[in-house]
Structure 1
């Protein structure tokens, strides 16, 4: 592994930050930079030159967001972000997409992103897909993670389906050995969850039997966060070990 790992992340909403993997990457002596799309005026497009050179990123992590990947009219930078992603992924470089990030990778590669039959918000149990090919990213048989989404991705062509639950079948996928897309939020920490829960406008759009109350989520025990955080650390190791020397 390089002595100075260059990690770049795409951030779509203010305050979300890098979640649990920040300290893990700092232990690797990583140089961490970000593109903050949320800071752009909504009527402003983005030039490719404003993003890093695709060859100057050792690991890309794409965070979540409240917008849809299909809402290019209101967020014109989505087109540029997807175009950059296609260039980056064409080089076989490592990437991890979290919630909206997983949807963005899938959509950039031609897969549909659409409304899920039910919204998911809160702690849920996910199970790994049976008969995943040998050498793919290893998951526990069942694990508990934080969900916060209304839409979901189709599995991109050529990708391997890794995880599911009864509410949203497509929870995680893998492309080659260098890309992992998550529908859920393995990066969530107590501080990040509290920031999410402060967004009353966002909470107001969620309803249904798979939506947990803000009051119950505020009382989430610290051990609830650990399993997802560990899976994300393992995902970082996996994509880096396959691609970075």
Structure 2
């Protein structure tokens, strides 16, 4: 039986692959990564340094602190988006998480801009109305981890799956094989601690829809499970192309 080849794009040092690592390993997946965070901010890479599209069965694009629009400071973003477009043209499965969801949308021509509200912490997200039955189905309400200042427009040809009052576009689907998240279903205690450490150093979030770092440090293990299970279902869904 052919091994599932999963590749992920990582933008934060130490973040790892999130909650779905064990799930994919249990499926016998071979997991590889491109670590963009390891590149000097003033450097670029050749697109041929990235994997061959034919060598990837599932692409997962992780979050990050940079903006998709900040190509001047992160010139490799242009190459990453070019590769994403090439990959999506193959109609293979892809999942984007926060920055990853923004990168997929932007690679397809959608605008990524400052959201009216910054979101940080555990918030509620609602399933959008009138989602056709053939699309990925969500619970009516989800408690998820948010960590963003910007947001994506829904790409042309996509459908919005989730929303809330702070940020209209929380999740989208393209075709049968691509899911983009604004939130972090992959969050684990380890990755949350990294997010908190970065925020304590940089003090980026100051607006209304934020949860205090002190309360986030007290997050109970059960709170991670809804998002983690959603991501596992999302993986199953896009792989059934």
* Fold in common (TM above 0.5): yes
Q: Which runs of 5+ in 1 are unaligned?
A: none
* Residue equivalent to 2:13: 14
- Trace 1:33-182 onto structure 2 (pairs within 5 A): 33-182=32-181
| 1:15 CA drift (Å) | 1.2
**Which ranges of structure 2 fall in alignment gaps of 5 or more residues?**
none
- Whether the 8 Å contact between 1:66 and 1:202 is mirrored in structure 2 is no
Partner of 1:215: 214
CA contact (8 A) 2:199 2:205 kept: no
Deviation at 1:200, TM superposition (A): 3.9
- CA distance 1:50–1:203, shift in 2 (3 Å): same
Q: Classify the secondary structure of the residue corresponding to 1:71.
A: coil
Distance across 2 between alignment mates of 1:49 and 1:91: 17
C-alpha distance in 2, partners of 1:197/1:54?
34
In structure 2, the residue matched to 1:32 is: 31
C-alpha change, 1:78 and 1:189, in structure 2 (3 Å) is same
Task: Tell me the distance in 1 between the aligned counterparts of 2:194 and 2:84.
Answer: 28
| Count of residues in Structure 1 that have an aligned counterpart in Structure 2 | 241
How well do the aligned residues superpose, as a CA RMSD in angstroms? 0.9
Distance in 2 between residues matched to 1:121 and 1:60, nearest whole Å: 26
Q: Structure 2 CA distance, aligned partners of 1:95 and 1:203?
A: 31
Q: Distance in 2 between matches of 1:99 and 1:162?
A: 15
Structure 1 residue 208: Cα displacement = 1.5
Change (3 A) 1:150 1:94: same
TM-score of the superposed pair, with normalisation by structure 2: 0.98
Aligned-residue offset at 1:238: 0.1
Distance in 2, matches of 1:168 and 1:62, equals: 21
- Is 1:187 the counterpart of 2:186 in the alignment? yes
Whole-angstrom CA distance in 1 between matches of 2:189 and 2:2: 31
